[in-house]
Every structure is written in C-alpha cells, then in structure tokens.
Amino acid sequence: MNEIAAQGLSDQPWLSLLTFLPLVGALAIALRQITAKREANGAVGANEQASIDSVSRRIAMLFTLGAFILSVFITVAYYDPAEAGYQLVESAPWLGQGVGYKMGVDGISILFVLLTTFIMPICIAASGAIEKRVPEYMAAFLIMETLILGVFCALDLLVFYLFFEGSLIPMFLIIGVWGSKGTKMLGGVTMPSRVYAAVKFFLFTLLGSILMLVAILWMWSFAGTTDIPTLQQTAFPAEAQKWLWIAFFASFAVKMPMWPVHTWLPDAHVQAPTAGSVILAAILLKMGGYGFLRFSLPMFPIASVDFAPFVYALSIVAIIYTSLVALAQEDMKKLIAYSSVAHMGFVTMGIFTATTQGVEGALFQMLSHGFISGALFLCVGVLYDRIHTREIAAYGGLVHRMPFYAFLFLFFTMGNVGLPGVSGFVGEFLTMAGAFKVNSWIAFFAAFGVILSAAYALRLFRQVMYGDLVKPNLMAIADVDAREATMLSALLIFALVLGVYPKPALDIFAPAVDAMLRNFDAAVSVAGGR
C-alpha cells in the first residue's frame, strides 16, 4: 500500500513543478500589483507603493526559497546518484513530429539545478538596494529562474532552445532598466551605458544562438526527432558533424564566453545591478559549458575530436590574455568579469580533453566558480552600496574599518586564485590533469593562468583592503551587516566544504560523465580517430 503511494508520488512531474514554481511567484506579484492599482483607482501613493514593494520582495523570497527546498527535496528523495541515465523523466506531447515536452536530469545537470535554486534566494536578498520598480524587478528574477531551471532540465532540444533563448529577455531588462548610471557616446549619440550593455548582450547572444537554431532544425529533419537522449545515440555523418559543431559552438562560446567573443561580458557585468551580476556569473555562464557537455561532446564526437586543438588554443588565449587584461583594470567588477573569462577557459579546456578528470574538473570548476564569483560580485556590491563607486583607486585600507568583510573578501579572493582547500583549486587541478594527459604543453600554458590569477586577485585585495585609511569618505564605513554576512557565509561554507572534500560532488558527476565518455570513445573509435 505504502509502496504504491510512494511509486505514485515519484511519478509526479517534479521537475516541471520545480521549474514553473517561480513563474507562479511572478504571476502572484503581478496580481498583487494589479489589485493594488485597482483599489487605489490607478493613483498609487508612496506609502502604498512601499507596501507593494515589500510584499513583492517577500513573495520573491518565499518562492525562491520554496524552489530551493523543493529542489533539495527532489534530489534527496527521488534522485539516485548511482544511476547514469536520465531520471525523473516526464514527457507530454507538444508540437508533434518528434517534438515533445520532455524533462529529466542526470549527474551533469542535477547540481546545476541545485546551484540555481541556491543562488536565487541570495540574489533576491542582495537586491535590498533596488528602489525603483521593485515588483517588476522581482518578477523578472522569478521568470529568469524558471527559464534557467528549464534549460538545465529540458530533455528536448527545442524545449531547451526555448528556455535558453527566453532567458535573454529578463536579463536584457534587468541590465537595461536596473543597471548602473552613467552615459556613453556611441556614433554621436549619448545613451545610458547600461542600455548599450543590455543591447550588446542581447544581440551577441542572439546571433550566436540563432545559428544553433538552424543546426537544431537540420538535426530535426535528419533524425526525425528532437529528443535529446535519442539524438545522443544518433550517429550524424562526419561531414555534417563539423557544421553542426560549429553552429552549436557559436552559441555556447558566446554564452560561455570564450575569447574572442567575450567582449559583451565586461560591459554587461559592469552595468548590471549586483544581483544581476551574480546571476550572470554564477549561473548564466554555466549554460554554455552545460551546452558543450550535453550536446557538442555526445552528439558530435568526431567533430569534437577534430576541433579540440582549436578549443585548446582559444582556451589558453582566454586564460593568459584575459588574465593580463584583468591585471590592468581600474573597475572592480570589470576585473572580476575578466577573471571569469579566464576561469571559463579552464572549463572549455577541460571539457574538450574528453577525459574523466578533464570533464569532471570542468563541471567542478563551473560549480565552484558559481559560488566564488557570485560571492565576489556580492562583495563588490557591499562596497558599492556604501560608497557608490566601483573604482579600485577610490578605496584603500578598508581592513581597519571592516575586519569581517576583509576576511570574507580574502577567502573568496583565495578561492578565485585557486588556493588548495578552497573549491577553486579542485576544478583547476583536475582540468589541468586532464589536459596533461592529452598534451603536456596545454597544461603548461594553462598553469600560467593560475599564477596570473594570483597577481590580479591579490592586487585587487591589496589596493582595496590594505594601506592606510586616508580617504575621508571611507572613515565612517560600516562592516557587513547581518544580511550580507549571512549571504556571504552561506557561499563560503559551500566553497570551503567542496574545497576540502569534493568527493560528494564528483560522485554525482561520475556515473553520467563515465557513460557519456564511454559513448564518446566508442563513437570516435568507430570513426577511426584517437
């Protein structure tokens, strides 16, 4: 009797429930807004607006926390980490002709789902400084969460594409509406630079992914379906794989972002509000790496082998060049943005080694970068909320006034450098170990990135924290408050635990990664490569 009930419970569409839960929150906020307008006959006073704002903050917090709890519950109760295949699969007819609505997770995606639901409440909590159009802001974040969760759960290529592209819309609005002040001259026209950054972000990523759309359509007509598990077993002709790989690469490389299509990222990061930067760095960038692992490697193995040297080259350029660029930055957010590009270089390098260490290292690096870079952007946000500038030169000697903040900042700086004991180390080490197996020169060059990251991260820390506290506006600066301390400590715990004991995460990755690489090697050896 109980067994039947349990069986029925595990058959529920848990993933859809999780994915669309935040959307319900967004609708609730919209509804609240409309009813308040109606009650006030269209003219909402300042007091009423303040109460609507605080209600929408609470609704957003409630739903993001709800999603987090639900995702943890699903993972603990129904996810079997020992199994390699897709789990919690649910499907429903949709377009017909081989296109259906299908969701499911495996070892590669489940931790990204958890990362997303974990980061989201932090983003909401970090949005205390947002004062204009709060309900719209909260709704945009909730919609964003739905779309991101959809990306990681989708098991149909077209459904994936829908979520993947859809996530551009809320992010575009978040950067463009709630971004920072300041203007930029462009072609003789002065426009707010946040608007410039938002449009650049949108068009760059749209151009990348529209090429992927054409490739998806070709695959649909070739295989007659867009079911991801089926396509992963489909052997595409070697010649076609090349073009498909390039089309998918165009999309994911922009998203990742890889050198030389990374130029939208510093702009977007600098202009986005703190929570927008966090979500961008911690989650949105991971969609690129996830795409490589979910599609490029399993579906186009032959092309992946052929193009691997090309990816290594771009990755190494990204690691060394963007680290050097980071060294020269005057703006804290820009510095961290460039360091993100460098860290993503390790990820792409690791993925295309197609070795267990490389791929697991890349996954781990993405996870850890989610905590560390998210935390670093939060740290910058803490300062920005107080002094309203992100310029490194405007600070100095903060350690005297903000000891706890300095501790947190140092910890995450060390994580960014890749110090052993913090999660950043594990990912970098594993990806380099994977690269070493393929070609020791790649690992040799990549190792420069570790040195350079220490150079720019420590420079940032020294200039902001150490020295004498001379600037008059810094004299009265307050240390982190309880809210900020909680957010940062939560991230710190994860970064520390995973750094000291990475095994649980690696164990979750392992079955899916092993299965994928087995298929990969089989496909490549059939084609006579390797």
Residues that bind another protein (CB under 8 A): 33, 93-97, 133, 136, 158, 161-163, 165-166, 168-169, 172-173, 176-177, 192, 194-195, 198-199, 202-203, 206-207, 210-211, 213-214, 217-218, 220-221
Quickly tell me which residue has 């709890």 as its tokens.
69
| Residue whose CB is less far from another protein, 173 or 279 | 173
Sign of the alpha-carbon torsion through 167, 173, 178, 181: positive
Residue 188 gets the label, from left (phi > 0), alpha (psi -120 to 50) or beta, of left
Query: What minimum distance in Å lies between the beta carbon of 244 and another protein?
Result: 11
Query: What minimum distance in Å lies between the beta carbon of 217 and another protein?
Result: 5
Burial of 97 (0-12, 13-18, 19+ CB in 10 A): exposed
Query: What minimum distance in Å lies between the beta carbon of 381 and another protein?
Result: 21
Residue 200's CB is within 10 A of a number of other CB atoms, namely: 17
Q: Distance between CA atoms of 294 and 487, rounded to whole angstroms?
A: 31
Contacts of 95 (CB under 8 A, 6+ apart): 158
Query: What minimum distance in Å lies between the beta carbon of 187 and another protein?
Result: 12
Beta bridge partners, 189, equal: 186
By the 8 A CB rule, do 298 and 219 touch? no
Q: Distance between CA atoms of 320 and 322, rounded to whole angstroms?
A: 6
Task: Map residue 475 onto helix, strand or coil.
Answer: coil
Query: What minimum distance in Å lies between the beta carbon of 161 and another protein?
Result: 6
Query: What minimum distance in Å lies between the beta carbon of 332 and another protein?
Result: 24
| Residue whose CB is less far from another protein, 20 or 466 | 20
H or E stretch at 103:
strand 99-105
By the 8 A CB rule, do 138 and 276 touch? no
By the 8 A CB rule, do 464 and 332 touch? yes
By the 8 A CB rule, do 116 and 283 touch? yes
| Token pair listed for 16 | 């859809």
Beta bridge partners, 102, equal: 91
Query: What minimum distance in Å lies between the beta carbon of 378 and another protein?
Result: 25
| Residue whose CB is less far from another protein, 79 or 163 | 163
Query: What minimum distance in Å lies between the beta carbon of 303 and another protein?
Result: 17
| Residue whose CB is less far from another protein, 126 or 173 | 173
Q: Distance between CA atoms of 139 and 529, rounded to whole angstroms?
A: 50
| Residue whose CB is less far from another protein, 106 or 267 | 267
| Residue whose CB is less far from another protein, 210 or 447 | 210
| Residue whose CB is less far from another protein, 203 or 451 | 203
| Residue whose CB is less far from another protein, 211 or 313 | 211
Query: What minimum distance in Å lies between the beta carbon of 421 and another protein?
Result: 43
| Residue whose CB is less far from another protein, 122 or 151 | 151
Q: Which residues of 258-283 are buried (b: 16+ CB within 10 A; e: fewer)?
A: bbebbebbbbbbbbbbbbbbbbbbbb
